[in-house]
Structure 1
Amino acid sequence: MKIVFKYTKLGKLKFISHLDNLRVLQRALRRTGMMAKYSEGFNPHPKLSIAYPLSLGVESIGEIAEVDLLNDISISEFIERMNSCLPQGMVITEASEYLGSQSIPSMVCSQVYLFRISHNDEESVDATISSLNGLLDNDYVIIREKKKKNKIVKKEMNLTSYILGIELINIEMLDIDVKIAIHVSDSGSLKVDEVREFIYNSLNGVKSIEVQASTITDMYGNFDINIQHFYVYQLDA
């Protein structure tokens, strides 16, 4: 029985890595007495995976994971037993049986960041609104460095080619809510810092950027999940 579930990752848990996050879920599952199926091969491991890795220091109100259980169980009992064994700050809020054949991580095709951009004055707000439609018109090249065989390998990336779209959501006083959709693939995607830097360098009069990210994975209509991360960047005025 495959189950897809949504859970929070709050408080001190925001400092645990993606791998440690997975271990917490595996340990909680063992404590419940529910058994997961194991992969085959030389190093078998529980069939439990997280849809998309979250950066260190980021709180999440809606991570998504899937588990393949040996035995059938009601969704309500699964949630109750798991929540009784999870640490403070991690709570399963939703779950459902998944009948699809493709893994949840492989179905992640885009990530949508919801930015609340705070400005110094009304003129800066007006300037941002006027600039949004043209943000993707020009290339924005970033350089990533990676150590490979004791050498530093540099790679150029055109950030705007990874951005699928920008949409103005709401205006409230000196704050603007903007939605930015980012392409995600096995070859990689943009980092939160890179998207934040792009906004900051492309706009004037920005005071702070509060980022709320969601991952949409409903590629084939098999399920609909909404991952939301909450992250605040405080910039120098």
Structure 2
Amino acid sequence: MQANSLVLDHVSKHFTQPNNGAALQVLDDIALNIAPGEFISIVGASGCGKSTLLRLILGLESEFEGQILLGGRAIRGTGLERGIVFQDHRLFPWLNVRDNIAVGLKNSPLASAAKQQVVREHLALVGLERFAEAYPHQISGGMAQRVAIARGLVNRPSVLLLDEPFGALDALTRARLQNELQRIWAQENITMVLVTHDVEEAVFLGDRVVVMQPNPGRIKRIVDVGLPHPRQRSDARLVALRDDVLGDFLDA
């Protein structure tokens, strides 16, 4: 096993329904090995357990079958080695951009001066140096999501989890931030796991696309994209892969 590899070892998850106490299985036998620095896209219809899977990797859910290993160690609870970006940027409106990024360092052992330096580096990483003093209501939705990405990365985690991070944005802003995420991933050499409903986004960004199906959520197949970064959306090979994956849902 490679250092900092992420392994989902036959993971299953069920919830107990409050009305009758019956078990509702939401994930069934998820097995996936993710190499360090790999970009994995997880795509599937609503209800296939994509976001639940991210919650398990993040450590927000402790009750499940199987195991999740990071660098050979079982995940137990949340940790600084795993960051997350949600669809809603979740910025604190009373904090400026710099301080919102610094929130990610709350539990960091770094000294104050080192924290300030790391925040400056991540402001530069997402191109927001000029907006460090701005408040969330003074910046666009796309810029706010860049702040959220910087906050997710500021601890320099081994893995960044992305739960529909661009789902609330308009098409042009979404495309621009997909390009930005591609650049940041290449620059930071970090493992990224993206959950999305957008098949084009999944294929454009991912090294592999994990196609899930629901009831209960399970892996239908894994598609190797096999194209170098940076990518062009008009690449006929990407378009063919997108149509291939879309077929999994159109034929359902």
Please identify which structure carries the higher helix content.
Answer: 2
- Higher RCO (Cα < 8 Å, 6 or more apart): 2
> Could you state the TM-score of these two structures normalised by the residue count of structure 1?
0.23
**Is the radius of gyration larger for structure 1 or structure 2?**
1
